[in-house]
Each structure stands twice: as structure tokens, then as C-alpha cells.
Amino acid sequence: MSSKADTPSTKPLSNSQRAFLALRDMIFAGDLAPGSDHLESELAEQLGVSRTPVREAALMLESQGLLELRPRKGVRILPVSPDDMAEIYDVLTELECLAARNAANKGYSEPDLDPLAKAIEDMEVAVAQNDLENWAEADDRFHRALVLLGGNSRAATVFDMMNDQVRRARTVTLFMRPLPVQSNEDHRQVFEAIKAGDAGTADAVHRAHRQNAKNMMLELLKKHRLRGV
């Protein structure tokens, strides 16, 4: 679920890194609400460390656009407005379509595409069971697998950053949306296009897919007056 590569190797994570992960999780879980302010010292106490690792974590999170360090006001958890979300979706669309084209052009064999196939399967099962949580998880997995198959590590890094924000918004909007039936069909078409080495189709289908997702999200945010998630 983390956007960083979860290497199973047991590395002795530093306090700064733990603070980074903890704060990130708290933001996604809503424990640190969008728009809220938090003093470094309060966060330090909550995490049981001194201000130093909290500051370091905050600086990293600031670089990723999740919060803002405002002198004397504490760290501000940045709300994501509908306009922000539109921006994010547009960037994600470009990066994912780049990945889709690249993946199609790489001539992957079937086993390489297993992560995609598995994610599609899981999504179909989830939809059949009306299990939106699991659908969302598998959907996320599909998109990330797609980007990884694209083979551009920088695109993947930026994708992770942006996708984190979408995930955050989706925890709010997930249960407001209709069942993602068309979405699953899109995924399968993208998968087939990549397998067939048809970069143009992969791009076109995925682009339309993402456009729909963007419109859906913006509609939900508008309908429910969610001006900052």
C-alpha cells in the first residue's frame, strides 16, 4: 500500500523515516485533516521523538506536496481542491499513457504482464462481490503495475506522489460512486493492446479511461461539495 518499494529486507528504519511514514499514513487516514495545522512539537510528542526527525519528515512531505511548513503556524496539511485534483489527474494521465505506450513497445511476454492480469481478475471478482474496497486496491495495483512496466523510474516516482493524493481523495469518494463496470472493460482493453504491442490503442483506451475517472472524481467532489479533501 505504501508508495515506496516495500523491500521485505529488514532495514533498521531511522526515526526520520518512520516519522515520514507515520505522518503520511496519518494524513491518508484523515487523522491529520486537510487544512489543519500542527505544531512540530505536538507531532513530535505524538510520535515519541524529538522535533528533529519530525522536521526532517515534514521537509520530505513538503517536497511531495502533502503539507506545507509555515513558520509559527505549524505544518499545514494541504487540502486538495477539485482544481488540484484535475491537475493531478491530467499529470497521471500523461504518465500512465506514456507507460502504456512504452509497455506495448517493449514486447513483453505473458508472464511479464501477470501483475496486470492478476489485478484485472481481482477487480472483476471484487465488482461481482460489490466489494469496493478490494476493487480500489486492485485498481491501484493495476495502474502502478502499468507504470512499472513502462520502465521509466522517474515517471513511476512522480506517479507515486500524485497517486497518493488520488488515493486520499478516493477514501472519501469511494462509496459515492457507481460500480466500476466500464472501468474493468477498459483495463482489459489496455491489457490486450499492450500484449499485442499496439501502443496507439493502449494509449487511446487508457487516456479515455483516465479521462472518465477524472470526470467521475470531479463530479463526486462537486456534487458533495467537497471543496478540499
- Provide the mask over 65-104, with x wherever binding to a second copy is found by CB under 8 A and - wherever it is not: x------------------x--xx-xx--xx-xx---x--
- Asked if 147 touches a second copy (CB under 8 A), the answer is no
Q: Kindly state whether residue 74 participates in binding DNA, applying the rule CB under 7 A.
A: yes
**Spatial separation of the C-alpha atoms in residues 174 and 133, rounded to whole Å:** 8
What is the Cα–Cα distance from 150 to 106, expressed in whole angstroms?
A: 8
160 binds a second copy (CB under 8 A): no
Confirm or reject binding of residue 76 to DNA (CB under 7 A): no
Q: Which of 34, 53, 82, 150 binds DNA (CB under 7 A)?
A: 53
**Among residues 82, 52, 78, which one has the least CA distance to residue 67?**
78
Residue with cell 507531532: 43
Using alpha carbons only, give the angle 48, 52, 57 rounded to the nearest 5 degrees: 85
Pairwise CA distance, residues 178 & 99, whole Å: 27
Q: Which of 2, 29, 41, 179 binds DNA (CB under 7 A)?
A: 41
Q: Is 229 in the site for a second copy (CB under 8 A)?
A: no
- The residue among 49 and 91 lying less far from DNA, judged by its C-beta, is 49
In the beta sheet, which residues pair with residue 171? none
Segment interacting with a second copy (CB under 8 A) among 54-62, 131-139, 173-181, 184-192: 54-62
Candidate residues 15, 36, 64, 212; the one interacting with a second copy per rule CB under 8 A: 64
Residue 215 makes CB contacts below 8 A (sequence gap 6+) with none
- By CB under 7 A, residue 49 contacts DNA: yes
> Residue 146, interface with a second copy (CB under 8 A)?
no
Give me the least distance between CB of 86 and a second copy, in Å please: 9
- The footprint of DNA on residues 7-26 (CB under 7 A) is 12, 14-16
In the chain, what's the furthest Cα-to-Cα distance?
Answer: 57
Element (H, E) at 76: strand 74-77
Give the integer Cα–Cα distance in Å for 226 and 229: 7
- Based on CB atoms, which residue is closest to a second copy, 126 or 194? 194
The three grid cell numbers given for residue 77, joined into one nine-digit string: 496539511
Half-sphere exposure in the Cβ direction for 214 (13 Å, CA)? 18
List residues binding a second copy (CB under 8 A): 55-56, 59-60, 62-65, 84, 87-88, 90-91, 94-95, 97-98, 102, 152-155, 157-158, 162
